[in-house]
Structure 1
Amino acid sequence: MMITDETARALFDYSAFVAEAHKLANSLHMQDNDARETLVRELLEHRFVVYSDSDIRTCIAADDMVFNYRIKYARRDIVRRHYRALGQDRNKLNTLAPLTTGMYVIESPTPNMRVKERLQVDEACELAPLIFKSPKTKRFVTTVLQYGQVETCTRLHLTKQQFTARMDTAIGYCRRHRERIDGLLSNQRDEAIIDEHNQLSVLDTLLQSQHLAKEDVQQWITANRDYVEDVVGQLVGIHHQGVLINDYTHAQLHDRYLLINALQQRLDAIEQTIMSEV
């Protein structure tokens, strides 16, 4: 869909949009301007197709909650396309083996590269941000994997000596942390995070459904009762905990809102952990 310049300006100044765009920039190590452009493109192509140009301005003026959630979900959609859950990346660590052994390819990729090789490069590019903590190193390694030495030097304004030094730094990091890297995705804490992420993702999918019924949420609460009880027990301001857990359909709107908002914030926090802590 297309929107007018006036609506675009209003959207770019809208606090909910600005906040989600900044989260996106932090998650994907982008400039804020690039994140805003990426987020608005995602919204117009997917989440905002149900709105007209005037609808968007009306929702902004009203600070519409559903509208705000569409922005939040669009940001999550973008992030999830870049980063897979840790459990799905378990078998991808070997794609960075050339770095950990000190052997690496410095020639530029060619159109004749086999499909399997291209897939391995794509997977390695997805995995690099999970291994390297320094944004500078993440960018360097990803650029090398995608474009080779010559293009990397051009894009990052590096001399041959500087390129070699950065490559040695990346390889040295992998060697020093080889044991951590090898076991990164298999320790118990990561498994717990994956399990919780999967639980919350089911609820997140339910909440995005256009045909969501309160009974669907109650079924999810019942299936994850122990987890929900722990969350509710830590929330300040819940009026009727028992009703909220046992009869969500008839719980107060205030209590339902606090619970759902807390669960969504927890999902956001887990995704940030997956992307930045390791």
Structure 2
Amino acid sequence: MLHDNIETASQELLLELLDHRLKSWSNDDVTLAVQRDLPSLKWRIKYARKDLVRLSHRDATREVEKAQMLAGMEPQPSNPDEVLEALKLIPDLFSNANTRDWCGSILRFGQKETMARFNQSPRQFANKLVKVCKYARSHRQTKKPSSNAKELHILSEWDSIMADPDTSDNDIQAFINSHQDFIDEVIDDPQVAYQSHLIKDFAHAGKDKYILVNLMAKREQELDRRKIDNE
């Protein structure tokens, strides 16, 4: 219904079940329900699916004005200066190359072509738009030098955690919780299979855990190059 592939849909449904409909169940309760094919488990699965659809529609409704605004920003021959000005702001606002390309595509080509170029469903486009708007609002009044300084501080904290041999998955989860907006932007990358799972449950994020480490290292290298270019 939400136009996700089966792997993503299964993951989202499982997370919704664990976080809400089965939150009060013990492992034994779940095992017994699966073994006996109990109706109580079936209806929880059914309504967890309904919850996901309802939440998706609610989020889409909340962001519809933003989506219409950005999606309607087709290049207009009568007003090219505004598009050019917006395009100039993108590199300073977004450090993630994929996000920069995505925003640039909206400004140049609009929503439909951007969805085709980035192989996005309507839901994926809406979710991306929510994240981009949230990040842009929180950073639009931040000057580039201070923004870089903030990122450097976060990355320095990350380096310290990674250098400590006693660091646990719980320590990394605490770091993610403290800097969720930053991590959200870093993992906005096609390499990460399940972004929401990585944010919520680092310990059980599988290979996405190691992709996060690589993306953080890449982010630090990009920031170092930017510093050199500005000197």
Return the TM-score normalized by structure 1.
0.31
Select the structure of larger CA radius of gyration: 1
Return the TM-score normalized by structure 2.
0.37
